[in-house]
Structure 1
Amino acid sequence: MFKRPLTQIIAHRGSKGTRPENTLSAFQAAIDAGADGIETDVQLTRDHQLVIMHDERVDRTTDGTGYLKDFTLAELKDLDAGHFFSPEYAGTPVPTLDEVIQLLIRNDFQGVFNLELKTNKIPYPGIEQRLAGYFQRQSVPFRVVFSSFRAKSLITLRALYPEAEYAKLFKTAGQQARRMQRRHQVGALHPDIHWVKANRFWLPHVQLRPWTVNNEADMTYCFRHHFAGMFTDYPARAVAVRAEIQGES
C-alpha cells in the first residue's frame, strides 16, 4: 500500500521559539528535537565573510547597533547574540556559515539545510560566488537548498552551483514564483502560510513549504494537506503534532 512521505519539519532560524535565533544553540536544539531540516540566513561582513543573521541590522538580536555589512567579522564576534532572548544565553556569539556547517557535520545531520540569501534589501555583490566556492570546497552529508526573495540571486547562484536545490520565497508575489518554477529556475516554492490559506486553488497543483507555521492549527493544516515541508520556530512541537496526524516515519 502506498504511503505518502511525511511533511518535512524545517526549523526556522533553528529552534527560534526556544533559543536565541540563528545561533549554534538554536541549531543544536532543532537537531535534538528531531527536525528534518534547518533553515537559516546568510549575509556578508565588511571583510567579505559569510555570517549567519536574519536582519540587515544587528540591533534586534545583539547588543550592537548598525548594519551588519559595516562590521568586520572580528567586530561582529564581539557582539552578544543571546542576551536579547534570555540572560541565560548572554555571551552567545554570532556564528559564521562554516561554524554552522561544522556543527551539522559533527551531528551527522542528513536532512535539509535551507540557506536563505538575504539579498532582497542589500544585494551583497559577490555573495553568490562566495557561496558557490564554499560548497564546492566543503562536502556535506545533507541536502542543500538555497532560497531567496530576490530572483536574481537564485539565478546567479544556480548557474555557479547547479548541484543544490533552489526555492523562491514569497509573501504575495505568487505569479513570479510560479513563473520561475515553470522555467525550471527553481524547484520549490516557499510561500507565507497566510498566502497559502488564501490561495487554496494552488493546493492540488504544487508541493509547497510554507512559512512560518507556529500554531497547532496551521501545523495541522500543513500536515493534513501533506505539503512537502513547512518552516516553524517550534520544531519539537511540530514533531509531536505530525506524529498525531501523519504517524511516524
Structure 2
Amino acid sequence: MILIGHRGAKGHLAENTLASFEKALQLNVDMIELDVFLSKDTIPVVIHDKTIDRTTSGFGLVSSFSVRELQEFGIPSLQDVFQLVNNQCDINVEIKEFEAVKSILDLIDSNIFSKDKILISSFDWNALQEVRFHDDEIRIGVLTETDLELAIAFAKFIKAYSIHPHYKLLNKENVAQMQSRNFKVFPWTVNDQTDITFVKFLNVDGIITDYPDRI
C-alpha cells in the first residue's frame, strides 16, 4: 500500500508549503502529491488555486506574481520542493494548467530530482497527452471524478502508470478491472476512518490522504 500525502500533510499544516511537505516526510509517506501553476516569469510553483487569495495573505492571480514574490507569500517553487524532498520519497506532480507542461518537463529533465521518482497527473487530459508526446517513459496518472470507463480507455491510450479516481467511484469490480490492465489505483482524497477502511478493503494500490498518519 503506497501512502501518498495530499498537498503534503494538508490535515496537519498549511497545504502545498515546505512545512507541509516536511511533515509528510516525517510521517513516512511513500509519495507526496502537489499542484503546479506557472508564475509570471513562467516558473513552476506549487499551489492549488489560480489565485493566491485562499492560501496566503495576498490577493491576485498566481500568474501576476514573479516566483520571488510568490515565495515571499510562502508559495514554494517546484524546484524548492525537489530540493527539500531530495529523493526521500516519490512526488506526484498534478498539472493545473496546460501551459505549465513544458516548464515542468524542463525542470524534471534538469536532474534536480530523479525522474523515476516522479509521477505526473492531471484532470486536464490534453496536458497528459502533451507530457506523453514529449516523454515516452515518465509515469503518468489519469485523474477523474466522473467517468471511470473513459479514464481507463484514456489511460490505455497514453500508456499511463496509474488511475486516480475519486474514491466514491470505486468498487471491488472496477478496482480489479483497472489492476488487471496493469494500472495502479490511487484514490483521492481519503480522510475519514470509515472511508480508509473501505478503500483498503478494495485492495487499492495506494491512498491519497490529508492525514498520512491515519492509514
Q: Same fold (TM over 0.5)?
A: yes
- Per the TM alignment, residue 18 of structure 1 is displaced from its structure 2 partner at its CA by 0.3
Please state if 1:148 is matched with 2:126. Answer: no
8 Å CA contact retained: 1:12, 1:231: yes
Please tell me whether residue 100 in structure 1 is matched to residue 81 in structure 2: yes
Aligned to 1:88: none
Match of 1:133 among 89, 94, 106: 106
Give RMSD over aligned pairs: 1.6
Amino acid at match of 1:157: V
TM-score, normalising length from structure 2?
0.91
Distance 1:167 1:222 in 2: 18
Question: Which runs of structure 2 are paired with 1:197-236 in the superposition (5 Å)?
Answer: 199-207=171-179, 208-236=185-213
Per-residue deviation, 1:165: 0.4
Give the match's secondary structure for 1:203.
helix
Is the contact between residue 6 and residue 209 of structure 2 (CA under 8 Å) also seen in structure 1? yes
Q: Is the 8 A contact 1:37 1:114 kept in 2?
A: yes
The AA in structure 2 aligned to 1:95 is P
Aligned position for 1:175? 149
In the TM superposition, residue 232 of structure 1 has moved relative to its aligned partner by 0.1
1:115 aligns with 2:93: yes
Asked whether 1:189 is paired with 2:163, we answer: yes
Q: How far apart, CA to CA, are the structure 2 residues paired with 1:156 and 1:25?
A: 31
State the identity as a percent.
Answer: 31
Cα distance in 1 for partners of 2:14, 2:92 equals: 18
Please state whether the residue corresponding to 1:169 is helix, strand or coil: strand
Question: What is the one-letter code of the residue matched to 2:80?
Answer: E
Q: Which runs of 5+ in 1 are unaligned?
A: 1-6, 80-92, 239-249
Q: Which residue matches 2:182?
A: none
SS in 2 for 1:59: coil
Distance 2:84 2:155 in 1: 32
Aligned-partner Cα distance in 1 for 2:54–2:167 = 24
Runs of 4+ in 1 over 6 A off after TM superposition: none
- Note if contact 1:30-1:236 (Cα within 8 Å) is conserved in structure 2: no
AA in 1 matched with 2:199: C
- Normalised to the residue count of structure 1, the TM-score between the two structures is 0.79
CA shift for structure 1 position 61: 0.4
Partner of 1:40: helix, strand, or coil?
strand
Task: Give the structure 2 partner of residue 244 of structure 1.
Answer: none
| Residues 7, 32 of structure 2: 8 Å contact kept | yes
- The AA in structure 2 aligned to 1:118 is K
- 1:31 is matched with which residue: 22, 25, 37? 25
